[in-house]
Every structure is written in C-alpha cells, then in structure tokens.
Structure 1
Amino acid sequence: MGDVVDRYEASDSLLAWLYVQQGVDAVRVAMSGRVEAAAGCSLLEHEALYRIDMNGRLPMSELSELLAVSPSGVTRLVERLVRRGWVERSQQPDNRRVVYAALTAEGRRVLKAATGPTYRAAVAEEFAEPLTDRDLADLKRIGRKLLEAHGKWDAQRFAPN
C-alpha cells in the first residue's frame, strides 16, 4: 500500500479515510462470520432486519438508502428475506409503485437471535476491544459529525435510549 499512497501524495485526510474504510471492512468481515454462525443471517441481512424493525415497515427506496445498497441490490436482499420467511412485502392500494418491507414473526425471532449476546460480544471483541474509552468517545463524536455533515443524523435513530 505504501507505494500506491506515495504516488498519490498521501495526506492525513487520505490516510485517515483509508484506515477507517479498511478498518470498518475488517470488523464487518469478522462480525459477519460470527453473526451468521449464531443466527443464520449475514451482517447485511441483520442490518436490514434491524432497520425494518425500527420503522415497523420501510419503503424499499428508504431501505436502499439506509443500507447504502443499490435499489436492485436491496430488491435481491429483500427477496432472499421473503423466501426465508423473515420479511413480507406490501403495497398501498392507492400507490402501487411504493413497495414496503415489514418483518414477520419469524423475522423478529431471527433479529432477536442475531442481536443477542453473540452480536453484542462480536461488537465488543471485534470493534471495541482494541480501542480505549477515549477512542470510542472520539469515534462517536466523529461519526455523528460525519452523519450531520451529510444530512444523515437522526437523533431518534442514533441517540441511546
């Protein structure tokens, strides 16, 4: 990586971006394996179930945006969840163009299993363990700042209970 970065005149902001991006990817890979082994769903499927559950039901377009997945990608994802019996799709009679995703009872059971002790342990061990309390506080502050700068901060979704 050193040669590539050197060729592009590595700056602090470039290196910070690369380290954060690659760090998040490494944590996702480690956590996904653990969540999949415990609950039978991928980390992306878990996040989709979580996002849908937080809203009761969610338009596919909004789910696409929240997951940072293309509309066709979220359609394929939701189709897998429907086939597994975890999600159901619906449309309003007065607007058939908007498709909603909602959890089924089985989807709630899977979400509960995926968000239980295994998920919390994965977050603690794969993400938080190498960090100090100061690091975590800084990441919370920085993450919020980035969300706010891009119009993605929603206190109701992100604020602790």
Structure 2
Amino acid sequence: MRLAAWTAFLLAHSRLMEVLEEELRLAHAMSMAEYDVLHHLAQAPGGRLRMRELADALLYTTSGITRLLDRMTSAGLVLREASSTDRRVVYAEITAKGRSRFREAARTHLAGIQKHFGSSLLDDEVGPVTGFMRRLADPGQH
C-alpha cells in the first residue's frame, strides 16, 4: 500500500511539473527554474540573496545556479553583484524587468496550480494532505 502511494506521488509530481512548466514556457517563454529563481528573489528582503543561499533554496549546485543566472542576467531579469566586504560573496538581485516578468508568470503559474492540483483536492483532504506534505518537507519540525 505505501509503495503504491509513493509511486502515485512520483507520477503525480512528474506530470504536474511537466504541465506547469509547459504553461510557463508557452505563455512567458520561461522555465520553471527561472520562475523559481525570480520567486525566491522577489520574496527576499531587498530582492536579493547570496548566490549560495539561492542555490541551497533551489537545491542547485554552485555551478548550476551560476549557469542559470548567466542566462537570466543576459535577459535582464537579475543582476549579480560582488559583496563590498567579502570578495567570496556574490549576490543575485531581481531587476525591475525580472519583477514584472515574475508577476506576469505568477498569474499563469498560480492558475495552473489551482487547475491541475487544487481542483482535484477535495475539501476534506486539504488538512490531511497539507499535514503529510509538511512532514515530508521538514521531518524535524513535526
């Protein structure tokens, strides 16, 4: 029974992520990875994070986040700035263009989440599913 739940979870996650990514690509020419970067930066104080913090939040390697930010910097969505007090630290910061693109994409993304996930969740399932997902996400907190 638990293996069936695990398999269903993996399949559902894979299908949902493919659909949500395709919606972002078609409507905004944006990947899910780019959306996630903009989301984290938009939520951060001052719209900026250390590159290492951003990589950790997105489960990226340092080189992986660097390559992604190279593309996003070229597109004018983010800036990179070296710390004035520590040469080892580089910040990623969302630009005005990045904020605008994020707001546009967020409408599409949130509508997709509601359409493809939220609408399938019955009212009496919301609490138990939320509790279970929180335990999975952070087992030490529950």
The residue that corresponds to 1:7 in the other structure is none
- 5 Å-filtered alignment, 1:50-89, equals 50-55=39-44, 56-89=47-80
- Residue 110 (structure 2) aligned to one of 107, 120, 124: 120
Structure 2: which amino acid aligns with 1:31?
A: L
Cα 1:68/1:15, change in 2 over 3 Å:
farther
Structure 2: which amino acid aligns with 1:92?
A: S
Following superposition, the deviation at residue 150 of structure 1 comes to 5.2
Structure 1 unaligned residues grouped into runs of 5+:
1-10, 154-161
TM-score, with structure 1 as normaliser: 0.79
CA contact (8 A) 1:49 1:103 kept: yes
SS of corresponding position for 1:134 = helix
The residue that corresponds to 1:44 in the other structure is 33
CA contact (8 A) 1:57 1:102 kept: yes
For residues 58 and 101 of structure 1, the distance between their equivalents in structure 2, rounded to whole angstroms, comes to: 6
Following superposition, the deviation at residue 136 of structure 1 comes to 2.9
- Give the number of equivalent residue pairs: 140
SS of corresponding position for 1:46 = helix
Consecutive aligned runs of 4 or more in structure 1 exceeding 3 Å deviation: none
SS of corresponding position for 2:120 = coil
Q: Greater helix percent: which structure? A: 2
Q: Percent identity?
A: 29
Following superposition, the deviation at residue 96 of structure 1 comes to 1.3
For residues 66 and 18 of structure 1, the distance between their equivalents in structure 2, rounded to whole angstroms, comes to: 25
For residues 128 and 31 of structure 1, the distance between their equivalents in structure 2, rounded to whole angstroms, comes to: 13
The residue that corresponds to 2:21 in the other structure is 32
TM-score, with structure 2 as normaliser: 0.88
For residues 84 and 67 of structure 1, the distance between their equivalents in structure 2, rounded to whole angstroms, comes to: 20
Structure 1: which amino acid aligns with 2:109?
A: Y
Cα 1:96/1:23, change in 2 over 3 Å:
same
For residues 67 and 22 of structure 2, the distance between their equivalents in structure 1, rounded to whole angstroms, comes to: 21
For residues 86 and 93 of structure 1, the distance between their equivalents in structure 2, rounded to whole angstroms, comes to: 22
- Can you list the C-alpha shifts for 1:79-99, whole angstroms capped at 9, x where unaligned? 111011000001112211111
Structure 2 unaligned residues grouped into runs of 5+:
none
